[in-house]
Every structure is written in structure tokens, then in C-alpha cells.
Amino acid sequence: MVRHKVEICGVDTSKLPVLKNEEMRKLFRQLQAGDRSARETLVNGNLRLVLSIIQRFQNRGEYSDDLFQVGCIGLMKSIDNFDLGQNVRFSTYAVPMIIGEIRRYLRDNNPIRVSRSLRDTAYKALQARERIISKTLKEPTAEEIAKELGVEQSEIVFALDAIQDPVSLFEPIYNDGGDPIYVMDQISDDADDEDDWIDHLSLREGIKRLNPREKLILTKRFFQGQTQMEVANEIGISQAQVSRLEKAAIQEMNQEMFKG
């Protein structure tokens, strides 16, 4: 197979080496024994990992060279902090570290200014997130991050929301091959208050027809943003039952709201 030559930061990506897992573990043992040349080999052997990650951020308007350099910083931090005793693949540990480094770079270059205190809280939350991921190998909840830092959950949520990248009103969010749907298409118009008032009354009447469990499921799904599996675990039924009850409740509400 012929690889096309693509240069990023002067690196010919078609010639980047790929290390096998056993080779990686051997190099880490050499590095931890004091062989600094092993570190350079580990960096060069994982540059393809950095390249694959920066593809996720290509639509941010940043130069690939800049993202690649920042990703390499995250890679080197991962190599310096990786613990062979955890018995996990290096890529599993490194990916969130590299992504975190790139996100920090993007936030620091964000044109929207965020207060220092909020930014500091958000950075601490992201560092706590990375620590939890390295221990549990799964994405932590806002509650778990708040507990790790000893602060209120609402403070974590507010800080992380404040540093999110801005989204253009003309950002496409759906395209089925026809005309795309943009963010601005999903923004409501408050001009027609009468229609909103009628819809509110219809929705309220529709909810009244539901039994307590159906109301609970819809509240958790659409007002608290929980997944069907999270709702199922919380109320002690299967995900399939949650799906069935949710569909039945929505159908019943529709009948109430749109009956002639």
C-alpha cells in the first residue's frame, strides 16, 4: 500500500514508526531504569497516536502544526507519568492526557474571556477528571469530580460550561443528504407568545394523564438529561422497560395535545 507523504512540523507522517505493545513495555522498563534514549523512541513510536487525535479538532480553525505540537506535549507527559504496574495499554492512558492538553490550549486561545477563578476551577476539574480516568478507566460524573475536589457539584458544572468553545449559529448539526439543519434553526422565537401559551397548556394537560412512574421517567430523561440505562438503574427496571414506558407516555401525551 502506498502512503501519501504529509508533513506536519517537518515530520513526514508516512514514515512514522508504530510500536507493538510488548515493544512499548520493554522501552518503558528501559526508561524507568534510566535509559533516556528509550523516551525518544517512545515519543517517535506514538506520534501516529497524536495524529489520530488531532483529527477530532480539525474544524476549530487551528493550524495542524500547532495542534500537533500541543498533542506531543501531552504525549510526553503521558510517557513520563505512565505506570507499568497499572496493567493497562499505554494508549488507553495517553489518549485522555493528549486530548486534555489540546483542550487546554484551545481554551487559552478562546476569544471569549472567562474569569480567572472560573478558569482555575475548570482546570482543577479537568485534572481531577484525568486522575479518575487513570484509576477507573471510565468517564467520571460531575458529582465524582466535585467529590474529588471537595467542592459543590454545581460549581464544577458551571465552571466547565464557562470554558466550552463557542458554536457558530451557522454550524450544521444534521444533514441527511438534503438541506442541512443549522444551530440557528433550533433557536426558538419568543415573538409568538400566544402559541407558546397554548403549547404550555397542552403539555401540562398531557402530563396530567400520565401515571407517577411515567412522569418520573420523562422527567429524568428530558429534564435531567439521563440516559435510558441510567433511569433503569435508578428505578430498578430494565432499559427495555424504560424505552417501552417512555414511548407509551409520549404517545399518550401526543394524543392529548393534538386531539381535535
Q: Which residue among 76, 109, 142 closes a domain?
A: 109
- Indicate the pTM of the whole model: 0.43
Q: What is the pLDDT of residues 193-231, one digit of tens each?
A: 545 544 555 566 667 778 888 888 888 877 777 788 888
Q: Which residue among 170, 187, 204 closes a domain?
A: 187
Q: What is the pLDDT of residues 91-128, one digit of tens each?
A: 888 888 898 888 888 877 765 556 677 778 888 998 99
Claim to verify: residue 180 and residue 202 sit in the same structural domain: no
Domain count, the chain: 3
Claim to verify: residue 11 and residue 105 sit in the same structural domain: yes
Claim to verify: residue 152 and residue 215 sit in the same structural domain: no
Claim to verify: residue 98 and residue 10 sit in the same structural domain: yes
Q: Would you state the pLDDT for residue 9?
A: 55
CATH code, domain carrying 152:
1.10.10.10
Claim to verify: residue 210 and residue 167 sit in the same structural domain: no
Q: Do 75 and 49 touch, CB atoms closer than 8 A? A: yes
Claim to verify: residue 206 and residue 153 sit in the same structural domain: no
CATH code, domain carrying 69:
1.20.120.1810
> Residue 103 belongs to what domain range?
1-109
Q: Would you state the pLDDT for residue 85?
A: 81
Q: What is the pLDDT of residues 159-206, one digit of tens each?
A: 887 776 655 555 565 555 556 666 555 555 554 454 554 455 556 666
Q: Which residue among 68, 91, 109 closes a domain?
A: 109
Claim to verify: residue 143 and residue 180 sit in the same structural domain: yes
